[in-house]
Structure 1
């Protein structure tokens, strides 16, 4: 954005509070002033969750009637923070969503040729801790910086989506114990305002809800590996058994756009989570009471959502990884609820994934299922809801194997081999039967390509898919092929529609397809790895 393009603009500048954010805010403010920006909006203490930024862009109106034209979000998402860890900057557009590739590519091209930049170095630092408006006479004219309450706009929006009264009644039930872990990210300020002050949860329900520049020395990634304290409290760490874990637990990442949902001694996969929210949304969430426009998932995410869409006769979209693809569908009125296997869930209320929205959606479903039994002995639990879903729609047993920092040339050879193999389904099935005779036949194999139904853009080479006759899938994706090596992600999904088999052990159910995936791809031969770096 040059000075002619930025003249009169209103920019939002805030982030998840990680190290260097406060310094970066002051730099951005001074550069904005020098480039003719009319006003900058900053969340108090420089804090705004990524979903809240999208909300502010879309919903907030300044005292003078101004609307935000874009935002700089200071975050590296679920990566660690601190002086020796990650810092990042995202740019969001006027619709509240991430900048599309055409914009980010143009920004990158500018960085290769830039010879100078404008900055108002004499502008004093702004007090970002105090709410209010500070006016300056900038190099390009009047310039205002407004510091505002980070939570007000977001909470107002949540109240138009959910029935807070019904959730209050659920949290007031003596049988329902609630727990939320912000992992010392920005979600903490929203958790306290929403769950404690608005919905009446006990202060003791909150874990790690004080934002810290280094996230308390932890890794703010909401999964079973990094959310250790919550996992123990919810009874999922067998080495540290708990007598009476809470009925419901959830965690957030650093910028509060990702979420993890847990029941008592029970983990809900992100793929199941979005499918269950979609299946119950019309009955449980007022915002969707008139019906869903459609649903969407990223290609590697399990097909649990596909089955819901088919049964409920909903428009369904399978898109490449990247929230901007969901945003296009939402802007066109084609999608209401969407999600991805990497712990992101959201809806068309904003144009980012939204971790606290997902928690409120689950609490709404639990409140709906328990509305006549809040003081009874046997509440409908998270595990009950998931079990009922599997009985109705079948279960998609699911796992992800990540092979990190493997030799780039070997990784490329593996992907090339898998593409070449797809030329003959007969050959694929012959190899598979030689590995496991109890695995279904492959009925379709391709390299996923997406044509956006809204703007017509085409995204190629998005991953290699093997689709089986029984609804199971194998997906291989490659990322990062620079000098430091590559990452191969293998997604393994076994569909089971026999309700008598949906409760069996996940590892047992997936074992045949895991063996097929590793041997079909010659994973060890191409990568030299006998095991993945991470299993999710």
Structure 2
């Protein structure tokens, strides 16, 4: 039996770049999650008889919202819902399942790298049939629907057992509980040379951060690739991520960093985030920035079976360093600069214009799915190490010797009052026309703009994607507000300096003059009251 539940709209359900993210207590309000899920189904066509994928990163509230989503999906006319056992599906695994099972789309329940728990964050996003995040035309329609919704509909049914593999019926819809790892691991075995990685006898430390990649890493790294038991740390997904922040950077994965800087460090270290789409790469005594990792993976991808025929193109988000552009130029393939948000990469991948994509926020991936993929990056690095017999440090130094080095850092000012952050950006935009020619210490502004992207696949234009200030000689600073937080605003300042020959400098020292210029240009201290960033990556 299908029942209608009267409701009233919430005014704060506009999806960001990665869906709707709010505090758990917001989602726990009566009708809040139900309104959003129903609004998703109200604006998408083709539901009758279709397949839907549902899963999440295991954070607090994951199971409860999955049960609700199943009942609403059954009422909406879906014929089948495929759900990861225990409610678990990494974001890249969900993308893969959508693609291989011909699903109409999927609900991914995650707030990515944000903390989890009763007082922390939760999120829902909708991915479309290509496996990637919904485009703006869908999220705009979804937001509009959340402002007018007056009822949600659900099949009256008991909760199902999310931990039992197999099929059950909810109303007329079949719910299939699947192993969340199996199909994803099989895809990885096709892309990478698992026998060569096993034969290389590498040592490794992987921090799953008590998040979704634990089961995937245990199966792939320890079982299939033969790394020693204990290689995977924090490998059990926990609703509060063990009280830790599941963001794979040098602040939140500091224990891994200490392990990799120790005299007896293993050959390779890596971590992934809450929902499994981001990665941290550290070799013995060598941290690799996400921007450099993208460039180095692209330069060496041909060593893996899945990429032996070469790349069609490389795409990076605008704030990501230009290191990958130099690889594309040497390979004679296109380089694309897009706004932040994986959906822009998805258009290029679908069109066959790019093969590997990456963002400075620790996300890299390829055309195997339509999301960034943390374990994919780890496995490609392992394949490269096995094929070359070289260390991460040697690969990095040889790369910089060939291409030059982009010294790079991102400064995050978190939880800034939204009004203050908006005022900073508005004031900065008003100055753009007069910045060229101005000097800040030894730096001279060459150009300054508000980045706009003209999508070569569909002709759409995305404006106001971040302010760029480019200095004579190739250095630059970028300012943008992040859409991944749940309260206040995060001001992100991206700092980059290119050196053709000086590859052994200290990053902090090399960027000091650009940091000073960034504050002089934008008035960061004046607007935010902050004298230091909260996080440096």
Fold shared by both chains (TM-score > 0.5): yes
Q: Secondary structure at the match of 2:357?
A: strand
User: Within the alignment, does 1:220 sit opposite 2:246 as a pair?
Assistant: yes
Whether the 8 Å contact between 2:437 and 2:446 is mirrored in structure 1 is no
Aligned residue runs from structure 1 range 411-422, under 5 A: 411-422=421-432
Aligned residue runs from structure 1 range 349-388, under 5 A: 349-370=368-389, 380-388=390-398
Whether the 8 Å contact between 1:187 and 1:256 is mirrored in structure 2 is yes
Q: Which residue of 2 is the match for residue 393 of structure 1?
A: 403
Q: Distance in 1 between matches of 2:222 and 2:203?
A: 13
When the two chains are superposed, the root-mean-square deviation of aligned CA atoms in Å is 2.0
Match of 2:317 among 287, 298, 303: 298
Q: Which residue of 1 is the match for residue 52 of structure 2?
A: 11
User: Within the alignment, does 1:249 sit opposite 2:249 as a pair?
Assistant: no
Match of 1:40 among 67, 81, 105: 81
Match of 2:163 among 129, 145, 149: 129
Q: Which residue of 1 is the match for residue 109 of structure 2?
A: 74
Q: Which residue of 2 is the match for residue 271 of structure 1?
A: 291
User: Within the alignment, does 1:160 sit opposite 2:186 as a pair?
Assistant: no
Change (3 A) 1:58 1:443: same
Q: Which residue of 2 is the match for residue 335 of structure 1?
A: 354
Q: Which residue of 2 is the match for residue 452 of structure 1?
A: 455
* CA apart distance, 1:14: 1.1
Deviations 1:455-507 (A, max 9, x none): 11111111111223322111111347999754322111010001xx2112111
Change (3 A) 1:533 1:145: same
* CA apart distance, 1:414: 3.2
Q: Secondary structure at the match of 1:203?
A: coil
Deviating above 6 A after TM superposition, structure 1's stretches of 4 or more consecutive aligned residues are 480-484
Q: Secondary structure at the match of 1:402?
A: strand
> Greater CA deviation, 525-534 or 35-44?
525-534
Q: Secondary structure at the match of 1:119?
A: strand
* CA apart distance, 1:111: 1.4
Whether the 8 Å contact between 1:431 and 1:520 is mirrored in structure 2 is no
User: Within the alignment, does 1:492 sit opposite 2:522 as a pair?
Assistant: no
Q: Which residue of 2 is the match for residue 375 of structure 1?
A: none
Q: Which runs of 5+ in 2 are unaligned?
A: 1-40
Q: Which residue of 2 is the match for residue 145 of structure 1?
A: 175
Q: Which residue of 2 is the match for residue 239 of structure 1?
A: none
Q: Distance in 1 between matches of 2:486 and 2:248?
A: 29
Whether the 8 Å contact between 1:14 and 1:74 is mirrored in structure 2 is yes
* CA apart distance, 1:15: 0.9
* CA apart distance, 1:338: 0.6
Q: Secondary structure at the match of 2:352?
A: coil
Deviations 1:204-256 (A, max 9, x none): 21100111111111111111111133222222xxxxxx340111000010110
Change (3 A) 1:295 1:4: closer
Q: Distance in 1 between matches of 2:335 and 2:247?
A: 28
Whether the 8 Å contact between 1:338 and 1:347 is mirrored in structure 2 is yes
* CA apart distance, 1:293: 0.7
Change (3 A) 1:14 1:511: same
Deviations 1:288-343 (A, max 9, x none): 11111100100001111111111221111000000000000001110100100111
Aligned residue runs from structure 1 range 273-288, under 5 A: 273-282=293-302, 284-288=303-307
TM-score (norm 2): 0.89
Q: Distance in 1 between matches of 2:247 and 2:226?
A: 26
Q: Distance in 2 between matches of 1:115 and 1:422?
A: 45
Change (3 A) 1:481 1:407: farther
Change (3 A) 1:418 1:424: same
Q: Which residue of 2 is the match for residue 238 of structure 1?
A: none
Q: Secondary structure at the match of 1:489?
A: strand
Q: Which residue of 2 is the match for residue 260 of structure 1?
A: 280
Whether the 8 Å contact between 1:393 and 1:497 is mirrored in structure 2 is yes
TM-score (norm 1): 0.89
Change (3 A) 1:470 1:36: same
Q: Distance in 2 between matches of 1:486 and 1:46?
A: 30
Q: Distance in 1 between matches of 2:125 and 2:367?
A: 20
Q: Which runs of 5+ in 1 are unaligned?
A: 61-66, 236-241, 371-379
